[in-house]
Every structure is written in structure tokens, then in C-alpha cells.
Amino acid sequence: MRVVALVPGGIGDQILFFPTLDDLKGHYPEAQIDVVTEPRSKAAYRVSKSVHEVLTFDYKDRNSLADWANLVGTIRDREYDVAITTGQSWLEGLVLWLTGIPTRISYKGKGGAPFTNTVPLKTEQYIAGMYHDLLQGVGIGSPCPELAINVPKPDIDWADREQIRLGVKDTGYILVHGDYHHCNQPKGLERIYPTESWLEIIQDCQRKQPDMPVVVIKDAQNEEFVRTILQSAPNIKVSSPDDIGKLAAMIAGANLMLCTHSAPMHLSVAVQTYTIALFGPTDPAKVLPKSDKFLAIKSPTGKMADIAAKTVLSKIWGG
């Protein structure tokens, strides 16, 4: 069986779709499963254990008819038996109908899109479970499995060397993934946690657990955040994993992950690291599974900046 899944969205959306892909592969071990995702999200599949090939299509771009026609041709040439899409749009339904794929699965929508199998859209649940409901379209009614990833061995080896370089291999460490400061849109600002609050949390951790190093993750989007933290707390450790596998391996080695609602949060869930995640407008129940290992702190106002540092610290120290 050849299956294609159309999964728009960011890296976090892809990771939340992994349980669906894994359960499908578990029920049909010989199936070849491909994914069509946005170029920005292709990197997520470095840690997928069930996907054969990743195709890219920028769903959010102002695509011409020729762009959509190329997507139809690309999918049609691979002669898939089943298509699954997380979207409900009539356009996606038309695209899949034009490919000639016999079984086309999506959620029940209002547009009458030409899907062959539809399932109820239950948005009140954990998103991974909502995605997993789509497998009812191929007769799979099992519970949604836990989020899991497959970290390549070279990335695990890199993380081992990195922990030795940082001097945290034997001590353990608290891992911090901070905020992006380039976003000027009001919606984005609601999701940024202030650097001064992060600094208060980090310094309190250093005072109370001097033998437990704090490691801050640095990437291309949060360099300003890391630079500011280093100016006030020069004895923190900094790690710069250059792909999602290395990042996942560093998270897996941590005693505690402190982060905002982000793709690294989902990686932390997948590797079962104890996690405290900060939320602005998002409902934590939609993106975090129920577990004592994953704690959410929701802003009372919907703005992440309004979460007091002392609230986070009370969760860290069990207050």
C-alpha cells in the first residue's frame, strides 16, 4: 500500500502528526508512507521512524494554477492508494480527486469537498489525538499512541560529545529554550517570554542548585536572547545543535526542560524529558498530553509576558 499525507503547518504540527504515521505503519508494516509538507517543516522528518519520502509544497504561498497542477502531477505519478489530509478545504479535496487516488481521507467539513472517507473533527482534544482520528478512514480505531521520535545515532553521538565539551555529562543539566525576539506582530508578541524573567529563573536555579548546570539552546532565531542572558549570567553553558536530531538528543539528556510552547517542547514530550512549558493564548490541553512529566503554566491574560518568574520557580521547586 502506498500512502501520501498532506500536512501543512510548522515543525510542531508535523511532530504532532507522528503518532498517526507510526500507528498507520504499525498496522500496515509494508506500506510506503510519504508526506507533503511545507519547505520550512521538512526538517522534522529527520526524527520520524515511519516516513519514506518527504515532498514539499508551500501551502501558504500565493500558488498559481500551475503550482497546484504540478502538485497534482507529482502525486499522481507516484500512484498512491490512500491520501490523508489534515485540511478540510474544497481545494485540497479537488487536488486529491484530480490525482486519481481511490481513498481520500479528511475531516467532515461544510464545503462538500470530494473526499471518499471523512471523520468527525474533534478540536477539543490533544491535537495528536485529533490527527489520529483520521485513521478511522482506513478502519483503524486503536487509541492514539504516545508521541515518539527516532533520533539518528550520529546525532546521539554528537550530543554525547557536546555534553562532555560542556562538562555536564556526569552532573546532568537544566535545559532552557528561550524566545525569539525578531517578531513584531501583536500575535507573536503574546508568545514571547521576557528575557529578564528568564534571567530571574536561571539565576535562581544556579543559586539553589549550584551543581546542576544550566544549558541554553542557541539557534539562528534567538541569538539576541542568548547574548543578553550571557551578559548577566556568564557562567551558563550554551549549546548550538544544528539540526532537529541533535536538538532532540540534547533534550533527551536533560534533567529538566524549560521552554515556551514551541517545536522543542514537542521534542521534549517525545523523548519523555520532564518539561515545564509556558503558554500565552494557546490552550495547553490541545498541545500537551496529560502527564505528571509535562507541566503547563498558562498566562492569566493570554500574554506570556504576564507569567511571573516566581510562578515558574514554584513549579520548578515543587511549591
pLDDT tens, residue by residue, 165-187 = 999 999 999 999 986 544 444 44
Same domain, 116 and 189: no
Same domain, 192 and 272: yes
pTM of the complete model? 0.92
Q: What confidence tens digit (pLDDT) does each residue in 242-265 have?
A: 999 999 999 999 999 999 999 999
In terms of Cα–Cα distance, which of 63, 66, 52, 70 is closest to 89?
Answer: 63
More confident residue, 48 or 185: 48
Same domain, 229 and 259: yes
Q: Is the residue at 246 inside a domain?
A: yes
Same domain, 208 and 164: yes
Structural domain span for residue 193: 153-316
Same domain, 73 and 157: no
Supply the pLDDT for residue 183. 44
Same domain, 116 and 86: yes
Q: Is the residue at 145 inside a domain?
A: no
Supply the pLDDT for residue 182. 44
Q: Is the residue at 305 inside a domain?
A: yes
Q: Is the residue at 143 inside a domain?
A: no
Q: What confidence tens digit (pLDDT) does each residue in 193-212 have?
A: 999 999 999 999 999 999 99
Same domain, 21 and 170: no
Q: What confidence tens digit (pLDDT) does each residue in 16-45 have?
A: 999 999 999 999 999 999 999 999 999 999
Supply the pLDDT for residue 254. 98
Q: What confidence tens digit (pLDDT) does each residue in 77-136 have?
A: 999 999 999 987 778 888 999 999 999 999 987 556 689 999 999 999 999 999 999 999
Q: How many domains does the chain have?
A: 2
Q: Is the residue at 171 inside a domain?
A: yes
**In whole angstroms, how far apart are CA 216 and each of 78, 225, 258?**
43, 10, 10
Q: Is the residue at 144 inside a domain?
A: no
Q: Is the residue at 147 inside a domain?
A: no
Same domain, 87 and 234: no
Q: Which of 106, 138, 170 is the last residue of a domain?
A: 138
Q: What is the overall mean pLDDT for the chain?
A: 92
Q: Give the integer Cα–Cα distance in Å for 124 and 297.
A: 19
Q: Is the residue at 148 inside a domain?
A: no
CATH number, position 189: 3.40.50.2000
Q: What is the mean pLDDT of residues 227-245?
A: 93
Supply the pLDDT for residue 112. 62
Same domain, 126 and 47: yes
Supply the pLDDT for residue 319. 54
Q: Which of 138, 162, 177 is the last residue of a domain?
A: 138
Supply the pLDDT for residue 189. 61
Same domain, 125 and 15: yes
Same domain, 295 and 177: yes
Q: Which of 138, 162, 179 is the last residue of a domain?
A: 138
Q: What confidence tens digit (pLDDT) does each residue in 56-75 have?
A: 999 877 778 888 899 999 99
Supply the pLDDT for residue 15. 98
Q: Give the integer Cα–Cα distance in Å for 177 and 175.
A: 7
Same domain, 248 and 162: yes
Q: Give the integer Cα–Cα distance in Å for 313 and 301.
A: 19
